């Protein structure tokens, strides 16, 4: 099996992206969950780059005959999941901000009463 430049460069870029994500986890700037998702994503990119015929397995699972269509549908599903996850996180952050604002406002009221 002869490798193309794409099959060599893509896994190297994937490795750098995964290493960067875990570096951010160790610096406590990202969560382990985010690094795991990032690692899985770039791992799949590497596998697809090295073994393009692995997409045949994806077509068999999804029941879609063309590789390109199977990749597009699967990618859309993953993107919808990520957007859903981000919406949940955003709502959680908004609720935390509301609770903090209320606590600060109540503290200010207590200070003015004294």
Question: Domain spans of the chain?
Answer: 1-50
- Per residue in 63-97, pLDDT (tens digit) is 878 877 777 877 887 788 788 888 888 999 999 99
DSSP 22-60: HHHHHTTSS-HHHHHHHHHHHHHHHHHHH-GGGHHHHHH
- Per residue in 9-53, pLDDT (tens digit) is 989 999 999 999 999 999 998 889 888 988 998 898 888 888 888
pTM across the whole model: 0.60
């Amino acid at each position: 099996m002869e490798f193309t430049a794409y099959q060599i460069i893509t896994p190297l870029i994937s490795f750098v992206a995964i290493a960067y994500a875990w570096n951010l986890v160790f610096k406590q700037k990202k969560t382990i969950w985010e690094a795991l998702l990032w690692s899985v994503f770039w791992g799949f990119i590497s596998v697809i780059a090295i073994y393009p015929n692995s997409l045949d397995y994806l077509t068999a699972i999804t029941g879609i005959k063309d590789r390109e269509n199977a990749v597009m549908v699967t990618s859309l599903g993953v993107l919808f999941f990520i957007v859903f996850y981000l919406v949940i996180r955003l709502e959680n952050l908004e609720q935390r901000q509301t609770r903090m604002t209320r606590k600060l406002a109540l503290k200010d009221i207590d200070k003015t009463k004294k």
